[in-house]
Structure 1
Amino acid sequence: MEFWTYYRVLRKHYRTVLIATAVALVVGTVVAWPRDLDYVASVTLTASPPDANRYLLVLVSDRVQASPGADTARIIALIQSRTVAERVIQRLGLKVTPTDLWTRLRITGGTQAQPLLTLAVRDRDPAAAVRLANTYADVTVAYNQEINRRETDVTRQFIQDQLQDTRGRLAEAENALDGFKQAHGIVSMPTQLNAEVTVYLNMVGEQRAAVQAQREISARITDVRRRIGQFSPTNTERQVTENPIAQKLRGDLINLEVQLAAARIAYTDQHPAVVDLTRRIKILREVLSTEIEKIISAEFVRVNPVYETLVRSLVTLETQLVAVQARQAALASVIPEEQKKLPQLTETEREFTRLTRTVQVLEASYTSLESRFNDFRVQEQMALDHNPVTIVDIATSAQPASPSRTVVRVLVAGMLGLFGGIGLVVFQTQIDNTVKTAEDAERLLGTPVLTSVVKHNPPFDEAYQVLKTALGLHGSNGSRAAIMFTGTRVGAGTSTVVYHLARAIARSGKRVVVVDADLRRPTAHRLFGVTVDAGLVDALTGAVPVEAALQPTTVENVRVLPAGQSSLLPLVDLFGPPAMAGLLDELRRHADVMLIDSPPPVPFAESRALAALVDGVVLVLAAGQAPRGVEVETKRELERVHARVLGVVVNKVAPENDDSYYLYGNYHTPVLPSVPSSPPTGGLPTAARGWLLAAGLGVGGAAMLETNLMVALGVGGMAVLLETRHVIDALMAVLGWRF
């Protein structure tokens, strides 16, 4: 269908569209509108980067809302952890699950434009919303400190155990050395021997320190591996991308095509360079043909930020472990060589050297452990004091939740109802095969339409002026025509068409005789207000002269030959050629135009007999009826008796389906006072429609400033929808169009 066809359909069925939209709005409001108003309380947090010498361990689930940065993502994962949710539920005594609690949270920020994190909590009680938001922030900060303290406690305990063990072994070694000196009266070792022994002992001390460092690193690696096992390492998503090989081959092919074009400018096709480039392009196209349709379906992995931190720490520790093991291997190969350089010692000197070496090694180990322990205590205190999660602003009050999302849902429902109503109307129109317009009648019968008569009260007389002109009955020609009007079905409005056409012809000064040949359902006498004492039957049987049977009417230049009394003869015999032909010849002496009203040719045979005697036949087809084959059958029966079918009059056309009705309304014709100058169209005046349209667009623009584009479109659309059947009229009036 064309645009104007859709427009006429929507204009006709605008109530259906309005009802569908209203129903959708009501249903959307009932479904989407909250039963109880929610309140929102917000807490602002900041995430500072953690210390580079420590790593963060968080026991969280896989719920990660965003990854604006490693530190911010870790804090978001911490806020959304199951442990934090369970502690909040326990502290406040809530009867909800962590999953229910997560649905009431919203975390925003954490980007370069908005570095601070905003934790918003919804609740139906404003005081409960404030309490829940602050509790969630406090628990998050406390849990983060607990995690940091848990890690530092593990490391500190390990160093303390090593320090205590070394202190005990050092005390035992010193006691053994002092006892050996007292027993053998030894004061000190010779200077040269002492230097050689010192070098040897330093290496042995380094070896022992390396062993101790290996144990420490191995312990930390074991702890990290245990904690890594508690996490889901990745968040996997399917990502379908184009084959990168095909992309590269396309680029190579373009480059070769460019080179070949340049080579052909300088050389012939037989030149080696051109031949080589052609061969390479052919090979590349064959390879590309196998690769171009390949699509790579890859796993897009989003790494858990906490898991990623632990993995980096594990890699660092394993690197340190490899370095310590390499140091041990180097010392293990050098110490035996240094041991051979020592002079031959007596048993007493050897034992003294061994005890002294043990004391020195343990003293060095103890000093190193003590220094590391002191440094760690300082770093531990700094780490605990520098919490990466800090509360910037606490929640002091809760604000009512904005209903914009609910409004948007309601408006979306309204728009869906609007489009659904339009779709329903269009669907009904597509499956509706009733004759509605002159074009439909022409497609059905293959006969030109003389005019279409609109359902209007008072009647739309201009249509009968068009019919008079189409039949050639205007002007002062000398022909005396006898035209028969018959309907395709009973009730098509044939008598009404004859009545108004007679009035239209009579205004031009021509004498008109209306013959009521519908003896089964005579109507002309009622329309013209005459009696039925004598009429057509009487004139055909010879009971009354034709002149006596003709009755004048209140319409100037119009006389009527009513049906008359009933006849005992069959009607088809009554309308036989001798009698009816003689009657028509007699009537031509009394009138310029004869309009004969007859019943439908299907199934009445008298109409067929009469059609063969008149100058032409006009079919009257009522709009709004589905074709059942009788229309085509009527035309076929008339052609069978060699009747001359002049055309079709489409009667009872809906005003919205007749373009001429609206075209006529844009002009003023004062010549004929009885013809209305502008048929009423109903609805609002054009100026009012323009104001209404402007108001709708204004409301939509204001809504756009307050909410969003969807709300603006919805509000503006609803305002315009209240007068939807006049919107296009208003636009056309503003633009100065006429249609």
Structure 2
Amino acid sequence: MLEEQTRAEIDYRRLLRRIVSHWRLITILFIAVTLPVSVWALVFVPKTYEAVAKIFIEDPKRVGAGFLRDWMPASDASFQQALLRSRSLAEAVVANLPPESTDELLRRAMHVDYFAEARNFLRRLLGRESVVSGSLPQQRAVTELQAARMTFTPLASGEVEIRAVAYNPQVAMGLANTYVDVLQSRSRSNIREEARVSRTFIEDLLNQTKASLQESEEALAKFQRGRASKKFPDHSALELTQVAQLENNLTEIQASKEIAKLRLNFLRGGKDPTGKPLPSAVALAQQQLTKRLAQLQEKLAGLQERYTEGHPLVRATQAEIKDVQAALAASSQFSPDSATASRLYLGTAERAALTKQQADVEAEIASQEAKEEVVKQRIARLSQNVSNLNAEEMEASKLLRKVETQRNLYSTLSEKLGMVRVQEQGEDRGLRVIDLAVLPQSPSGAPAKRIIFLGVLLGLSLGVGVAAVIEYFNQPMETEDDVSRVTGLPVLGWLPTIEGNHTQNGADREPLRFAETSGPETLEVETCRGIRTSLQALSRQRKLRTIMLASAGPGEGKSTVVLNLGWAFWEAGQRLIIVDADLRRPSLHRPFRYPLGPGLVDLLASDVPWDRVGQAVKENLLLLPAGSIEVAKPGVLLSAEKVRHFLNLAKNQADLVIFDSAPVLAVADNLTLASMVDGVILVVRAGATQQRELVRAKSLLEKVGAPLIGVVLNQVSRRETRRYYRTYAGYYGVGDGRSGRKHSRSSRSWWPTVQKTSNPK
């Protein structure tokens, strides 16, 4: 499990490196997208102004629930925030805006409904009419206000920032302050109505309490008349005092419960204590519609003094008046308890907040009922303790407690009545204005910054996305795990990236002979010896006298592997022949500065002796170049009969014959040779050979019966080389006299050695 997780992490890092390797493409796409967008944002995007007003919405839950909150109604924070974002409040704001603000909302809209634009574009393509949503000016102004001009940011302290955006600084300030004014007015009307209902209830309850107090005092005076003052025992007096206090608490709890029920009834649209129906959603909607109609008519009169009847603002206001009159007529058709009527006044967010308020009040009523039951039980227990008093004493105690309770309740009601009267005439204590918006002095750079940020994000995403798509379709082979997973063949070994003399590329490329030039104990030489050891181990299972190195495409490094692998076998004391069977672009002769011919072509075309076609590189090491390829026909020369004859001759001359070949996917010249040798090794260039090409090459070789024995991974990157040899790189130092253990103690100790071996002189 740990190995799979580590492998997945390595794969992700490798993919990231491959994407980063396309940094030129990513940079070009990034600049191509970001630069025009930034120029357009800085030059052509109109300047806007921001005005910010700040209000404070107090949540009653933060100050705790209690008797005072029941008698002093305040706005709920969640309801206020829902109201702030509601469409009904936006409509009221639009109705109270000056003409220049409304004109900007209609003529210079910032909001674009891209979905509607795309839908209308498709409809026009299909020959249909476009669908125009919000054709009325008032509707378009409300949509513009909510979608593009206003933002509301609640802070943890309870403050809310009301931010308005406009092209004109005066309009921006007016939008923010109008929102504050309308919200205050809406909240004030709701709170005053609730306070009026509470005041009426408290006045009625106060009158009832006053009458009950007078009756209790008269009854107590009548009972005490003609009787001496009774003195109760000490313990009984204490218990009677406790009973009196509990009865006072019970009275307050019951009063709080009644107030909560009254608030719940108000929220549901019931009746007040006098029997009059409370204002329902329909009544409130009608009141607001009537008020709005009067405002619009006044606005229309002012516009008609300044403009003609055909002016757009005059026509828009007349259309709004018709809409309000129609809504007012429709609202009169619903009953006060109609569910549909509620929807005339409350939006979705407001209805949700109102439902939450009702749930909170219901929970509060349940809590008061539970408290009431507990207090009643305590009163009952204490009453049993004082039951040893005689009937006369009990009657006196009862009258005294009743008088005391009524006096306390009367005093409390008088105090709360004064508070509610103040609340009814005052402001909403839960909504306070901290700062009104002031005239912005300089334009805001937020729109341009937002567009530039989106351009940067788009450019970066496009560049990285294109690079990722390229890597997804290319899927280059980079590690031994990749090669084994794709081919199912064993990896015989790998060669690091060698920085040799690549002065000639393409058809005139020259393979590298690093095995002889970079020293006998360098990293690349040791990897060649490792490949030789793997092949010698395979030779114990199957005889390997003839080996061909193949690749999917050109530039994989077959010729380099052939030369250096041949040197490794020659070093082991074997007689070796290296044959250049790439008759289209031969290259093995170039590192030795030998002529191209005579060679393999001459040997296959005529009975030329071996001593005339082979070039002796060293003792027991013979190079057979391609030969006279100008007149060669590879498809004819590399036929099965001639190849078989050549293999028999070559085996008599050497212990091992290694063939270089043409790319498998490019030409089919060497497929016959591949099917007749003892083993075929696929050469894969790390980071360049694509997965689909490697799979096709392997499939093609298998179809002709080629004995595939393994894969050599060529030109492994320095990063992968360091990963493979991080611990053991110290062993490849030359004459340093230090052990590998000492080298591995430092995470950087391998770097000088790898750098030295990777740059042969």
Q: What is the TM-score when the length of structure 1 is the normalising length?
A: 0.45
- Looking at CA atoms only, which structure, 1 or 2, has the larger radius of gyration? 1
